[in-house]
Structure 1
Amino acid sequence: MMVKGDAPVHSGSCFLQPPERMMRLPDVLLLQILLLPVFACAVDLPAPLNDEVMGLIVFKAALEDPTAALASWNEADATPCGWAHVRCDPRTSRVVRLALDSLSLSGPLPRGLDRLPALASLSLSNNNLSGPVPPGLSLLPALRSLDLSRNSFSGSLPGDLAFLPSIVSLDLSSNALSGPLPDSLFSAATCGSLRFLSLAGNRLEGPFPSALSRCSFLLYLNLSNNRFSGSPDFETGLWSLSRLRVLDLSHNSFSGPVPDGIANLHRLRNLQLNGNRFSGTIPAGVGLCRHLSILDLSYNSFEGALPSSMRYLGSLTSLKLSDNQLSGDVPAWIGNLTTIQQVDLSNNKLAGNLPASLGGLKEVNYLSLSNNLLTGAIPDTVAGCTKLSELHLKGNRLNGSVPLGLFDLGLQVLDLSSNELTGTVPAGSTWISETLRSLDLSDNKLNGTIPPEMALFFGLTYLNLSWNDLRTQLPPELGLFRNLSVLDLRSSALYGSIPGDLCESGSLSVLQLDGNSLTGPIPEEIGNCSSLYLLSLSHNSLNGSIPASLSQLKNLEILNLEFNNLSGEIPEQLGGLDNLLAVNISHNQLIGRLPMGGIFQSLDSSALQGNLGLCTPLVMEPCKLDVPKPLVLDPDAYARGNGNGVPAVTNPAMPMRHRRFLSVSAIVAISAAVVIFLGVMAVTLLNMSARRRAGLMENALERVCSSSTRSGGSDLGTMVVFGPGSNLRPEDLAIGTEALLAKATKLGRGVFGTVYRASVGEERVFAIKKLSTANIVQHQEDFDREVQRLGKVRHPNLMQLEGYYWTPELQLLISDYAHHGSLHSRLHKRTESTPPLPWRDRFKIALGTAKGLAHLHQSVRPPIIHYNLKPTNILLDENCDPKISDFGLARLLQKLDKHIISSRFQSAMGYMAPELACQSLRVNEKCDVYGYGVLIAELVTGKKPVEYGDDDVVILIDHVRALLEQGRVLDCVDSSMGEFPEEEVLPVLKLGLVCTSQIPSTRPSMAEVVQILQVIKAPL
């Protein structure tokens, strides 16, 4: 026997190395396990039958089995054939299959399986197994199927996989395997039998393995969701795999053109090259793969027209070519693909009219041509697509009316938004009223009434008719919608009153009626909208008081009532809305005190300004209380009455000294009120004095700015407003920059300066950043060139720069203001009344941030590196969509590059990529990827990147990586967000760890991160 510390004992091909956890077994059994293999090797006899029992017991002993799935595995049994998840050959009683899928097993893959010489199928998928794939699997000579997918195996592939002589199916997908694929892995011995190979969802890298060409019998090849790069050699490598039925190379970094030689793969049924960097035209040879059923070339850089050879793909059921640079017309032959069920040509540059032949797609259920350059009318023949379920044509230049035939189909989703459609909204038929779930006709030129028959769309959950010219009243039948969740009728020229029964069904969660001409009061019945979380009635002509019934909307999060004619006091009951996150009641005629509870005591002045007299220091208007005056009686009146308790009328001729105008109690009350008033005034004056002292620098700044603006001279300062797409107008600044900062609110101080919140004009709010590094930039030409470049950067997930103010001593940057604060505040400074971010919003933030960074890195030339990505620079809008701020400032202040590693960036501790501290390494976009990876971990765990305890310092990334290696990574997920989909959270967290690799070159690009996140997101 070996004692601890000895080397393994070898005898021929047999070796002895007891597992680390062998001491769990009884001592007698341990002796049997140690001695039996030695004797079998020494005398070269076949292993006894119960040797399989011993091997499986060794295998079980080294695993964590929290659900006791292997409890029936008993070492006292003579054969394992009766055990759970074990199948034996009835003729020989040898184990031929182990099916241990989805049993929550964890730990490294143990030894013991080499005692199963007849094992033909081994499946351990969907467990928590970790560590490297150990060598020794090649000792299973009969193994035909090996499935280790959906675990956490890491490291490189073991070389002895090339010596599996009988392997037919090899699935190692959805792990953390890394490194290149060695050519030796695809030996002649292995490739002679291999039919199925999936390495998808790992971290494998390098070029396409040319040695795969030896596997000429391969039928299924999936290398998707890895980091392979370069141009696959279709001509000499993939060329020879002529038996392939499925080829999936999606979501890698392959580049270059796809040659016509792909036609040699004429047996292909499924070709997926999406999510790469392929360029050039779509090869005409694709049309010779006549058996193709699924063709996905989306998210690449293909250009040019669709090859006419594709008309011969008569077996095609799914065609996805979205997010490329395809141009030309939509070909008429597309209507000949009569078997097709999904067509997605969105986000390209296709132009011209929609062909009438689309009506020939009798089997299509999903058709999307959104965000192209299409013109003309929607052909009536589309109504011939009788199985159509979703039709997406938004973001084009289509005109004409909405074909009535579309409303005779059994559509579930119809999106014709952002076109130039005219005419009326069709009423629809009985068929569509039973099936329609989402209808978006927004941003067109539709007019006329909202058909009352739409109330019969019982399944409708989303209705958006905003930004049209309806010029009609709200039909009372809208209250009959049974399942409507979102109703968006903004800026549609609506007039009249709001129907009282609008929320009769109780299902409405979003109601947006902004920008219309609605009049009358807000109906008391609004309290019946029990599911509302967003109510926006701003920019109308509503009058009357705010109904107290709004306090019944316990789910309400956003309330917008600005720019109306509402009057009276705000109901005190609204203070009990604990979920309320944002309120805007500005520019009304409200008076009195604010409710004491909820968000009202912390409202920003912009949400209150423009009212007659709200009682708050934030509004510089006289305070008016709409309360009845106290009734004061003459205490002597009853004494002078007529004896029946009715006071007599005071005699006006009575001498003045005999009259009492006020009672003693009234005098005492008035005196107390005067004392309280004087105390409040004293405290207010002290606060104003403190604020005045703290704002001396800002006042000096105002005087400089305002004087330069009034004078208009360029010697003192220059104000530049970006346009014409800017929300900031030059006339808003005509009164001088003093208006920007005189009443500005300091929001905080960052790496590059101090940020203020300021109102511009009557209705716009902006963020003003006063750069603290002003003396670094001495020439306006240099400053203007860089800021103009930043001002041209436009993306939904980037905070838009609206303009700037410049003097040699002072620079201001003006950008949009985020009313909902930063991600840092939502994660780490959340009050009890603020609900935690659910996983849905966290994923949206992760994806949106990735898209914003990808735009800076790839769509801007030269690329913009943020350098300072962290949650305080991720701002959130009302829909929890992220907007990245402070991008490009490091380049703006070029001399600051020398100080990137200085104390200025200590506020980003935990987010800094390690190469920022090493001047010998080239700093590029990958430092932003590192900060993004830390941000991912922070989103999932809810913890800060560095946390200091009494005795230690916890680095979040290291902590998460350690838990992943232990198979307990889900233990660190933020419990405050409630239920979450593990199939999304776990890969997102793994993605964050990949992004924080210590070696910059091994981190993915942000474009790859976007692609990975879009794959991770489970379909609704």
Structure 2
Amino acid sequence: MRPLLLLVLAHLIFLAEAKGGAGSVAALNDDVLGLIVFKADVVDPEGRLATWSEDDERACAWAGVTCDPRTSRVSGLNLAGFGLSGKLGRGLLRLESLQSLSLPNNNFSGDLPTDLARLPDLQSLDLSSNAFSGAIPEGFFGKCHSLRDVSLANNAFSGDIPDVGACGTLASLNMSSNRLTGTLPSDIWSLNALRTLDLSSNAITGELPVGISKMFNLRELDLQSNRLTGSLPDDIGDCPLLRSVDLRSNSLSGDLPESLRRLSTCTNLDLSSNELTGNVPTWVGEMVSLEILDLSGNKFSGEIPGSIGGLMSLRELRFSGNGFTGGLPESIGGCRSLVHADVSWNSLTGSLPAWVFASGVQWVSVSGNTFSGEVLVPVNASSVIQGVDLSSNSFSGKIPLEISKLLTLQSLNMSCNSLSGNVPTSIVEMKSLELLDLSANKLSGSIPSAIGGKSLKVLRLGKNSLTGEIPAQIGDCSSLASLDLSHNSLTGAIPATIANLTNLQTADFSRNKLTGGLPKQLSNLAHLIGFNVSHNQLSGDLPPGSFFDTISFSSVSDNPGLCGAKLNSSCPGVLPKPIVLNPDSSSDPLAQKGPVPVGGRHKKTILSISALVAIGAAVLIAVGIITITVLNLQVRAPASHSGAALELSDGYLSQSPTTDVKSGKLVMFGGGNPEFSASTHALLNKDCELGRGGFGTVYKTTLRDGQPVAIKKLTVSSLVKSQDEFEREVKMLGKLRHRNLVALKGYYWTPSLQLLIYEFVSGGNLHKQLHESSTINYLSWKERFDIVLGIARSLAHLHRHDIIHYNLKSSNIMLDGSGEAKVGDYGLAKLLPMLDRYVLSSKVQSALGYMAPEFTCRTVKITEKCDVYGFGVLVLEVMTGRPPVEYMEDDVIVLCDVVRAALDEGKVEECVDERLCGKFPLEEAVPIMKLGLVCTSQVPSNRPDMSEVVNILELIRCPQDSPEEELG
């Protein structure tokens, strides 16, 4: 026990004896004593516990404390969001009358006291959203007296789910968003008082055990985002009170069990993103209380049952991404509560049912099917519909004028069909419309002059047969962010009023017959990131300004009259500057970007084996970069979609999870609203750029629901696999869920542009924290150890799923708001074809020093041991605060060599980051440095597996039979 705690306890015992109280007074002192002992283990940076004083006889007036008015004993402790950290000591065990303990949204860490759940009167225990780690003690639920509600969610608990069968009073158990593994314990269903069970977002494996019918009080079951396999339990429908079943994002298979039909009170059934098969039976219409039915992302086949029309409470129907055939039942229009219907990306046929426009539904997507015939809008059109996606079907005929009666319509996507006739003026004038996509049809005539309203953000009319001039009135669409008029037969000049579109990000006028010059005012468009006028008859020079100074050649090519530096064509009156070369120079001027050491040839330098490997790898990287550059130039030059970003809207791609591949396909995993926020400049805007890497540039933007996300725009489009292979790999990566992985939330695809959508991690990256932070805000030893352990756990998780990271480096390790490590950029190499490893190493392993030596050998297979090597380098980097490789004037210093030499001399403590000022345990420093060196062995077979690394780290952190000591 620490000296400070001993002094506090001695002082408190002295006070208790001096007051000489007995009976209830002694009990009151027990409460005061217990809370003061608890406070001694707590770090309180905001002073929220300032009112807690050992001089008080009672604790009832203290912040966060509630007392029983009859006995004046402490009955409740609520410190939610107090910003506290530290460990839960045994002081709380003195609060014998405690009924409610609520400590969520703090930063408590360490293990749980085994006896905490055994407090005789404790009914509610909430320790969610902290930093607790390790296994939940096996006997934690062993002797529950009256415990009813337990939440351990959003921590870092690992290991198996403990035995909970003895805690028969439990009504609510939430252990979601941890690192729990293993299978569900067989006695989990014996908790017949349980109403809510949430074990979501863990790594639980195996099949669902039989016997769930014993839980006759169960209301909510949430096991989503695990690794469960096998079929649904046959008796799952024998829980008569079950209202919500969420098993999405697992690997469940088989048919729907017939017992589900007995869940007459079930309101939410989410089985999306699994591998379920067979038909959807007609008895699903007997689940009359259903409000959400989500079977998307499975392998269902057959027809959609018409009995769904009897579900009067149904609000969301999501059947996308299956193999359904036949027509879309007219009876669904009878679902009077239906708000969102998504049957996209199936094999449905026939005509469009009238209910799409006539019912009370607000968002409908039938994209990616084979519907045909004319699109008809009935007389009794809906007054509440907001979004319709009919893209990628076989609809024909004219665009119905009656669509303009849908006054609340915000998004209309009819792209990639066979629609003909003119673009109706009444539709482009709709005041509420934000997205209008009519691209890739057979439309003719001119663009209506009275085009768009103040709300229009995305206008796509490309890939049609439109003629005439671009109307000047388009400049009145003040919110327009994305404009696509490409692949038509438009004539005349680009109107100068385009410069009035101050929110414009992308514009594509390519492959038309436009003439005249580009308006100089275009240089004032501050948010412009893509502008394509290739394959026209434009003339004159390019507008001035930074954007047009750096515009790609392919975006302005095939305009014989255009001139400027980008086109290697001098404009009239401008004389080219002569190029002067030094005839005595034999070096490549492009290669000399830094100072060249003088006299290096005469300096004696001894390089280690690691340094030689590093230098050799650098040469290979240079070769790879040149190869990549050549490949990109070869692909980009003839590409018709060279302005790749032009195909991307500001987020209003579709109200469904997907849009057509020809105009852009957006997929969000696990459902949710795929729209980006109305702040269009936040998408792919340089002002919102977070960083750049070997694979591309990362931007921050926001979904409409306010959720921030990170968008990675891949810059390897010319090397990306085919769409099918790309989507298969990305979807597999999207199913990976781990506390220490940056979650992949979705993707966007066109042949020339690919975006990956990740969760946004607020704390920046590890590289900046290690090498750019001040001496005040440095990482503590504990924080560094936690980061290393988190990285190890994430890599072990990836390797269990046969994913090699390839690109491990400190700049790809993100830190969340609590300082926990989240590994990003994993598995991206699988999105590329099988390239020569020299090309791969130059693009992926761009940070010299992390690359395993086998990358330089053609005959050695690249395996998970490459990640182990990079991890070993990261361990040394985190603990020393030094980069993997340092380049001096006449030497190369390799971190591995420095640490190995210090270890041989018994001076490893001299390698630890000097900012720690000796505040680290030597008994941890030595073995963790040794582990880093073992991981960087030159021979792959000598490196441990990442699962072994995790076990070793946990032993280093918690050595057996050795009490943890406080570090000064």
Using the size of structure 2 for normalisation, the TM-score is 0.66
The answer for the alignment partner of 1:374 in structure 2 is 324
The aligned counterpart of 1:755 is 629
- Is 1:485 paired with 2:437? no
Change (3 A) 1:822 1:527: closer
Contact 2:303 2:326 in 1 (8 A): yes
Please, which of 268, 282, 307 is the counterpart of residue 357 of structure 1?
A: 307
Preserved CA contact (<8 Å) 1:157 1:177? yes
Correspondent of 1:602 among 540, 550, 572: 550
1:281 aligned onto 2:253? no
Q: Aligned residue for 1:544?
A: 492
Post-superposition shift, 1:450? 2.1
Q: Which of 672, 682, 687 in structure 1 is aligned with 2:578?
A: 682
Per the alignment, do residues 821 and 180 of structure 1 end up closer, same or farther by CA in structure 2, a change over 3 Å counting?
A: same
Give 2:522's aligned residue. 574
Q: How far is the alpha carbon of 1:138 from its aligned partner?
A: 1.0
* Contact 2:483-2:506 at 8 Å conserved across structures: yes
Q: Which residue of 1 aligns with 2:152?
A: 199
| 1:855–1:354 CA distance, 2 compared to 1 (3 A) | closer
CA contact (8 A) 1:533 1:555 kept: yes
Matched, 1:178 2:159: no
Q: CA deviation at 1:870?
A: 6.7
Deviations 1:245-302 (A, max 9, x none): 2222222222222233222222211112222222222111102112211111221222
Q: 1:206 deviation in Å?
A: 1.5
Equivalent residue number for residue 296 of structure 2: 346
> What is the CA-CA distance between 1:432 and the residue it aligns to?
2.0
* Structure whose CA Rg is larger: 1
Residues 354, 521 of structure 1: alpha-carbon distance in 2 compared, 3 angstrom cutoff: same
2:342 to 392, 400, 405: 392
Q: Kindly report which structure 2 residues correspond to 1:470-869, keeping only aligned pairs within 5 A, or say none.
A: 470-503=419-452, 505-619=453-567, 677=575, 680=576, 682-683=578-579, 754-756=628-630, 757-760=632-635, 762-764=638-640, 826-828=689-691, 837-838=700-701, 843-845=709-711, 853=733, 863=802, 865-868=804-807
- Say if 2:700 and 2:709, in contact at 8 Å, map to a contact too: no
Question: What corresponds to 2:15 in structure 1?
Answer: 36
Question: In the aligned structure 2, how far is the partner of 1:337 from the partner of 1:75?
Answer: 59
- Give the conservation status (yes or no) of the 8 Å contact 1:219–1:244: yes
Alpha-carbon contact 2:44-2:83 (below 8 Å) kept: no
Which residue of the other structure, out of 91, 101, 110, is the alignment partner of 1:146?
Answer: 101
Aligned-pair Cα RMSD in Å: 5.2
Deviations 1:330-387 (CA, angstroms, capped at 9, x unpaired): 1000011111111001111111111121111111111111111111111111111111
Q: What are the Cα deviations for residues 447-471 of structure 1, in whole angstroms up to 9, with x where unaligned?
A: 2222223223232222111001111
Rounded Cα–Cα distance in structure 2 between residues aligned with 1:523 and 1:896: 48
**Mapped contact 2:689–2:700 kept (Cα < 8 A):** yes
Distance 1:823 1:854 in 2: 26
Residue 229 of structure 1 corresponds to: 181
The 3 A distance-change label for structure 1 pair 39 and 748 is: same
Work out which of the residue numbers 162, 167, 182 in structure 2 matches 1:215: 167
Structure 2, unpaired ranges of 5+: 592-620, 644-664, 668-682, 715-728, 737-794, 814-823, 889-893, 896-911, 920-945, 955-968
Please tell me the residue identity of whatever aligns with 1:200. Answer: A
* 1:906-945 equivalence runs, <5 A: 907-908=846-847, 923=864
When residues 766 and 90 of structure 1 are mapped into structure 2, their CA distance, relative to the original with a 3 A threshold, is closer
Per-residue deviation, residues 836-864 of structure 1 (Å, max 9, x unmatched): 73355972437999867568999999945
Secondary structure of the structure 2 residue equivalent to 1:423? strand
1:962-994 deviation per Cα after TM superposition (whole angstroms, max 9, x unaligned): 9xx9xxxxxxxxxxxxxxxxxxxxxxxxxxxxx
**Is residue 809–residue 870 contact of structure 2 (8 Å, CA) maintained in 1?**
no
Amino acid at match of 1:559: A
The residue that corresponds to 1:242 in the other structure is 192
**Which structure 1 residue ranges, 5 or more long, are not aligned?**
10-14, 19-32, 95-117, 626-672, 697-746, 768-794, 798-819, 875-880, 938-943, 966-995, 1005-1020
CA distance 1:752–1:923, change in 2 (3 Å): farther
User: Which letter maps to 2:438?
Assistant: L
In structure 2, do the counterparts of structure 1 residues 854 and 614 end up closer, same or farther at CA, with 3 Å as the change threshold? same
The whole-number CA distance in structure 2 between the counterparts of 1:182 and 1:873 is 34
Q: Which has the higher contact order (CA 8 A, sep 6+)?
A: 2
Report the Cα distance in structure 2 between the residues aligned to 1:688 and 1:589, rounded to whole angstroms: 41
8 A contact 1:124–1:148 mirrored in 2: yes
Give yes or no for contact 1:824–1:871 (8 Å, CA) kept in 2: no
SS in 1 for 2:15: helix
Matched residue SS, 2:700: coil
Matched-pair contact (CA < 8 Å) for 2:806–2:826: no
Separation in 2, partners of 1:821, 1:364: 37
The 1:563–1:231 alpha-carbon spacing in structure 2 relative to 1, beyond 3 Å, is same
Q: For the Cα contact (< 8 Å) 2:399–2:420, is it kept in 1?
A: no
Q: C-alpha separation between the residues in 2 aligned to 1:998 and 1:46? A: 54
Q: CA separation in 1, counterparts of 2:61 and 2:834?
A: 70
Contact 2:320 2:342 in 1 (8 A): yes
Could you report, residue by residue, the CA deviation over 1:561-608 in whole angstroms, capped at 9, with x for unpaired residues? 111111111111111111111111111111111111141111111111
SS in 2 for 1:335: helix
Q: Amino acid of the residue matched to residue 354 of structure 1? A: I
Mapped to 1, the partners of 2:627 and 2:320 lie a distance apart of: 42
Residues in 2 aligned to 1:595 and 1:909: alpha-carbon distance in whole angstroms: 40
TM-score computed with the length of structure 1 as normaliser: 0.63
- Structure 2 vs 1, CA of residues 133 and 88 (structure 1 numbering), >3 Å: closer, same or farther? closer
> Following the alignment from structure 1 to structure 2, what is the Cα–Cα distance between the partners of residues 925 and 242?
49
1:95-114 alignment to 2 at 5 Å? none
Q: Indicate which of 238, 249, 264 corresponds to 1:314.
A: 264
Give 3-state SS (helix, strand or coil) of 1:319's partner: strand
Count of matched residue positions in the alignment of Structure 1 and Structure 2: 740
Aligned residue identity for 2:389: D
Identity %: 38
The residue number in structure 1 matching 2:9 is 16
Mapping of 1:8-157 within 5 angstroms?
8=6, 16=9, 35-37=14-16, 39=18, 46-47=25-26, 86-92=65-71, 94=72, 118-157=73-112
